[in-house]
Amino acid sequence: MLKEVKCLEERQKYILKEIIETYIKKVKPVGSKLLAKRMKCSSATVRNEMAHLEDLGLIEKAHVSSGRIPSEKGYKYYVDNLMKPKELTGEDVLKLQTIFQNHELVLSDAINSCMQVISDITSYTSVVLGKSSKENALKQVSIVPLDNSRIIALICTDKGLVINKQFNLEKSINLEEVVKTSEIVNKMLIGTPIDEVNERLEFEVKPVIAKKMKQYEAVYNIFYDAFTDFTKNNLFMSGKTNFLKQPEYNNVEEVRKIINKFEDESFIKHIEAKKEGINIYIGKETEIDPNVTVIKTKFCLNGEEKTIAIVGPKRMEYGKVVALLDYINKNIGGV
């Protein structure tokens, strides 16, 4: 039975920190000789301290080496007591700043783009998760003309969520017909769950507008596309196959299981952030897979609470990921 970790001595903390951070970088068990060289002390001294850390369940023996690797308990102790967010490189900050300063992007697209960059920087999987569209019902759809050839479709729900999508109108499409269709949609579909709107749009609204306008198909497609975007708006994922890049995942079947879980809505729900701040879940506590870590936080966008998360191996660069999520959070005004 593992002993409870109450208080480690400074040397023990140093050794644990070195083992974890070295293993994160090298993906190789860490031996006493390497640590003794860094600490300028005898290997016997280091071995004694490592034995104590192993007795506490913070490190464990690797199968292929005399060195030690962090245990799940060790990672948790590290995150709670030893880890410090790393300072972002100028290059990383510039990549993210460039996106946030691009005023042609709406904030939701900027966030998705930033998470894609983070996925590229870290080689982990990034997720932006909103509330399920099943929880929202249509309150109103509005058409806002920008000029003769461009419009914005605004969709509002009973939960206060608002999304917009810009369309370029074909020359054959009459703006008045688009506005008229929005009035028909509001009359017929208000109160309909968002994920059911497109079905009713096709079988109830489309036959009505087909009798009233020539270009009904093109007009119908505008509303169909807008509502389709809405239902997809609750999930963005980048770097889903990045687990293949991680050396500890050399079993393709194991990687496939993890990737398949990203397709399963019941598993994706476990990624939703429920606590304030940036929170770290390691191994079994992720409720996704015992071999992964999830670092996540939440923010508000257009009145909707959303989650941004990074999913990777337990051997994750915790300090770097926390710093990246903190940067995103500060730029969007996290909850």
* Chain position carrying tokens 């050399």: 250
131-141 per-position pLDDT tens digit: 666 678 999 99
- Percent of the chain whose pLDDT exceeds 90: 59
CB 127 within 8 A of CB 309: yes
| Higher-confidence position of 113 and 300 | 113
Q: At 191, list the tokens.
A: 């109160």
pLDDT confidence bin for 259, thresholds 50/70/90: confident
Is pLDDT at 66 greater than 80 in this prediction?
no
Range of lowest pLDDT (4-8, 40-44, 218-222, 281-285) = 4-8
What average pLDDT does this structure show over 48-76? 91
DSSP 56-69: TTSEEE-TTSSSEE
Is pLDDT at 113 greater than 50 in this prediction?
yes
CB 58 within 8 A of CB 71: yes
What average pLDDT does this structure show over 26-43? 92
Q: Which domains does the chain have, with CATH numbers?
A: 10-82 (1.10.10.10), 90-131+235-332 (3.30.450.40), 133-232 (3.30.390.60)
Is pLDDT at 32 greater than 60 in this prediction?
yes
Residue 92's Cβ-side half-sphere holds a number of Cα atoms within 13 Å equal to: 18
Please tell me the distance from the alpha carbon of residue 128 to that of residue 134, in angstroms, as a whole number.
Answer: 17
| Higher-confidence position of 305 and 37 | 37
Rounded (5°) CA angle 213-215-216: 65
CB 119 within 8 A of CB 308: no
Give the torsion sign (CA, 8, 14, 20, 23): negative
| Higher-confidence position of 265 and 49 | 49
What average pLDDT does this structure show over 164-185? 91
C-alpha to C-alpha distances, 67 to 25, 62, 107, 291, nearest whole angstrom: 15, 6, 47, 20
Please tell me the distance from the alpha carbon of residue 245 to that of residue 309, in angstroms, as a whole number.
Answer: 19
0.75 exceeded by pTM = no
